[in-house]
Amino acid sequence: MIQKENNQAEDLIQFIWNKKGVLALITTIAAVGAIIYSLLIEEKFKSVVTLYPAMSNTVAFTDEVHPEQSAAQFGEEEQAEQMIQVLQSAEIRNVIISKYDLMNHYEIDTTSKIKFTALNKTYEENVSFSRTKYGSVLIEVMDKNPQMAADMANDIANLFDNAKNRMINERSSEALEVAESERNKLKDDIQAIVDTLAALNQLGVVDKETRPTLITALANAKDGSTKQLIEAKIKATDQYGSIYSNYENKLEWMNIRLSTKDAVYEQLKSDANSKFSHKFTVEKASASEKKAYPIRWLIVVVSTISAFLFAIVLLLVFEKIKELNRKES
């Protein structure tokens, strides 16, 4: 078996040697063709912006406030993925397309029925976003004009804050209306309890802190009118004291809720009008002095090797066909 494989290898080497002239010609033609082709390919330059998402407060629809979520902290993996989603949004893409007139710059056929599809496809081929293992986000722009590539990359990075703030403002505005309505209703409920307690006070009911002093005050009263007043308070408190206490407890609890509602309301109000920065720019893009595409030597090497191997296969097929024809004749 090993001997047979060795013989086949020797036969192949011998075959290649016998056909070296043809193989050399084909390989040379392929190499020259690859060189010419690589020289005809339009050069492109790459510019890169490196960003880190900031850990910023999200709009809350609950009564919880999270002050530990500071905008001075780097975001986690989820924030990086969210950043990429925003960067890929049509809002940012359309601004860049309009500002740099990419329909003409990318030489899109404006008479085509699918011109916008072609434009978006070309944009996506030249503009890419990716997350690194360190949690940062890269904005990479390729263009034949190195300065334009850098400007586009920096503008995309700057537009991220605008898009993110618009999303937060819109969502916060909706939540703010709900929070304001709930807050106002709670204030009305609190005022109703305050009015009820005031009415009970008019009847002579006193709070639980004052009640122990009534007996002492009654014992120390000097005249009849004072005694009657204190006795009336004791009677009213005995009759309505439990109701008064319930309202007091409820008022205390509702004031605590109002304090929380106030904090949420103020946060949402701030978010609805905020213009925060949601990113850290580690490195801005600059015009590249060295092309990133095409890699000409790689095109030539791959094309030459591919042509050489394809030629061997083709010659083997022709040789096999000749052999079969000889056997038939």
pLDDT higher than 80, residue 56 = no
Question: Does 221 fall in a domain?
Answer: yes
pLDDT tens digits, one per residue of 82-112: 899 999 999 999 999 999 999 999 999 999 9
Q: Using CA atoms, how far apart are residues 106 and 144, in angstroms rounded to an integer?
A: 10
SS (H, E, C) 59-93: CCCCCCCCCCCCCCCECCHHHHHHHHHHHCCHHHH
Question: Does 261 fall in a domain?
Answer: yes
The pLDDT value recorded for residue 67 is 45
Question: Does 202 fall in a domain?
Answer: yes
pLDDT higher than 70, residue 3 = no
The pLDDT value recorded for residue 87 is 95
What are the backbone angles phi and psi of residue 66, rounded to the nearest 5°?
-120, 80
Q: What percent of the chain has pLDDT over 90?
A: 32
Find out whether 136 and 83 touch, Cβ atoms under 8 Å. no
Question: Does 80 fall in a domain?
Answer: no
Higher pLDDT, 239 or 270: 239
Helices (H), 203-295: 211-220, 224-272
Mean local confidence (pLDDT), 286-303 = 70
Question: Does 231 fall in a domain?
Answer: yes
Find out whether 231 and 217 touch, Cβ atoms under 8 Å. no
pLDDT higher than 90, residue 138 = yes
Question: Does 199 fall in a domain?
Answer: yes
Strands (E), the chain: 45-53, 127-131, 137-143, 279-283
Give the containing element (helix H, strand E) for 162. Answer: helix 146-202
The pLDDT value recorded for residue 171 is 77
Angle between helices 296-328 and 20-40 (to 10 degrees): 150
Mean local confidence (pLDDT), 265-277 = 76
pLDDT interval class at 196 (50, 70, 90) = very high
Question: Does 286 fall in a domain?
Answer: no
The pLDDT value recorded for residue 166 is 84
Q: Which domain holds residue 261?
A: 176-272
Alpha-carbon separation of residue 210 from 57, 202, 213, 256 (angstroms): 46, 15, 6, 23
pLDDT higher than 60, residue 73 = no
The pLDDT value recorded for residue 63 is 47
Instruction: Report how many domains make up the chain.
Output: 1
Find out whether 230 and 221 touch, Cβ atoms under 8 Å. yes
Mean local confidence (pLDDT), 171-188 = 86
Question: Does 211 fall in a domain?
Answer: yes
Mean local confidence (pLDDT), 214-225 = 74
